[in-house]
C-alpha cells in the first residue's frame, strides 16, 4: 500500500502540480479510507489493507460511514474526490483495469455565496494601519489583497522583483504553480513603495530577490501571519464580521462586476481556469443589488 501511495504522492506533486495543502488533504483522506478498508477486510490492527480490493460497494459503505461521523457535505466531497483521484491514477498506471469509483456518483454540494465587504468596510480597513514599519507593511498587504484580488498564498510568495511598475503588474504564481500577471492599482503601488522606503531607511534588505512582505523577525510572512494581521484591523475597526484574507478576493471580484466589468475579464484577473468558477460572483452581485433595493426603495 505504501508504494501505491508514494507513487500517487509523486503524481500529485509532479504532474498535478497540486499545492502543499491539497496534497496534505488528499493524502490524509486516503489514509483514513485505508483504515476503513482494513476494518472492512478484517485485517489485524496495524496490518495494511489491500486497496486494490475496494469496489463500488466499499465506496458507498465508506460514504455512509463518513455521514455517520457527522462530516459536512464539503468535507465528504473532498474525501470522495481524493479517493476518486487515487483510483483514476491507478488505472492510468495500469495497476487496475477497472476504476471502482466509476459507478459512484459525485456528491452534489450546496453552493454558498462567498462573503464580501462593502466598499466602506474595505475603506475602514485600508485606513486603519499607522505609520510604523509594521503599519506601512500592513497597509501595503491590504491594498494588494483588495487591489489585485490575490490569493493569500500568492501574496506571501511575492518578492520585491515580482513587481513591474512600468506596466503596473505583479507576477504571481497561482494554483498549480501557474504564473500570471495581476494588475495592481496606483494605491497598492504607493503603499508598497512607502513600505519599501521605510525598510531601506531602517537598513532592512529590499533587493529583487527578497521577500516583499516580511514578519517582524525579518523572515517571509506566512499565510497565518496575514490572517492575524487582518484580524487585528477587524477588531480595531469594530467590524462584526469574520474576515479572512480570501474575503478581500471575493470583494475585489464583486466590486468589479458591480461597476460594469465583464465576467470574462474578471475570470482572467482571478486566474480561474473555468468561467463557471467565476460565475458565483454574478450571484453575489445580484444578491447585493436586491438587498440594496429592499433596504432603500419605499415600495420594496
Catalytic residues: 151, 175, 246, 249, 272, 281
Residue in 214, 172, 177 with CA at minimum distance from that of residue 196? 214
Q: Record the cell numbers describing residue 71, joined without a space.
A: 462530516
206 close to 199: Cβ distance less than 8 angstroms: yes
| DSSP three-state, residue 118 | coil
| Antiparallel, parallel or unpaired: β 179-183 and 163-164 | unpaired
**Contact call for residues 158 and 212 (beta carbons, < 8 A):** yes
The answer to whether the beta carbons of residues 156 and 222 sit under 8 Å apart is yes
Q: How far apart are CA 116 and CA 161, in angstroms?
A: 30
Q: How far apart are CA 167 and CA 169, in angstroms?
A: 6
CA distance 23 to 18: 6
Closest CA to 175 of 271, 37, 79: 271
Query: Rounded CA gap, 177 and 226, in Å?
Result: 20
Burial (Cβ within 10 Å: 0-12, 13-18, ≥19) of residue 251? buried
Amino acid at each position: 500500500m505504501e508504494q501505491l501511495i508514494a507513487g500517487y504522492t509523486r503524481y500529485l506533486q509532479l504532474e498535478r502540480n497540486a499545492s502543499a495543502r491539497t496534497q496534505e488533504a488528499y493524502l490524509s483522506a486516503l489514509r483514513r479510507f485505508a483504515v476503513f478498508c482494513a476494518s472492512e477486510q478484517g485485517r489485524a490492527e496495524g496490518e495494511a489493507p489491500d486497496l486494490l480490493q475496494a469496489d463500488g460497494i466499499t465506496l458507498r459503505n465508506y460514504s455512509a460511514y463518513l455521514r455517520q461521523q457527522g462530516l459536512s457535505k464539503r468535507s465528504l466531497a473532498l474525501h470522495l474526490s481524493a479517493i476518486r483521484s487515487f483510483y483514476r491514477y491507478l488505472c492510468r498506471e495500469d495497476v487496475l483495469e477497472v476504476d471502482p469509483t466509476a459507478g459512484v456518483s459525485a456528491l452534489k454540494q450546496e453552493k454558498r455565496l462567498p462573503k464580501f465587504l462593502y466598499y466602506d468596510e474595505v475603506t475602514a480597513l485600508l485606513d486603519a494601519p499607522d505609520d510604523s514599519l509594521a503599519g506601512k507593511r500592513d497597509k501595503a498587504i491590504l491594498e494588494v489583497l483588495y487591489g489585485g484580488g490575490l490569493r493569500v498564498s500568492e501574496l506571501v510568495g511575492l518578492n520585491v522583483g515580482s513587481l513591474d511598475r512600468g506596466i503596473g503588474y505583479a507576477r504571481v504564481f497561482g494554483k498549480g504553480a501557474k504564473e500570471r500577471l495581476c494588475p495592481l492599482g496606483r494605491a497598492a503601488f504607493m503603499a508598497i513603495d512607502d513600505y519599501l522606503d521605510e525598510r531601506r531607511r531602517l537598513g532592512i534588505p529590499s533587493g529583487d530577490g527578497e521577500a516583499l512582505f516580511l514578519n517582524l523577525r525579518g523572515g517571509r510572512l506566512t499565510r497565518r501571519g496575514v490572517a492575524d494581521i487582518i484580524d487585528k484591523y477587524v477588531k480595531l475597526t469594530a467590524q462584526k464580521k469574520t474576515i479572512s484574507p480570501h474575503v478581500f478576493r471575493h470583494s475585489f471580484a464583486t466590486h468589479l462586476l458591480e461597476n460594469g466589468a465583464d465576467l470574462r475579464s474578471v475570470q482572467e484577473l482571478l486566474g480561474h481556469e473555468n468561467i463557471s468558477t467565476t460565475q458565483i460572483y454574478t450571484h453575489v452581485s445580484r444578491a447585493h443589488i436586491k438587498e440594496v433595493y429592499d433596504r432603500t426603495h419605499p415600495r420594496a
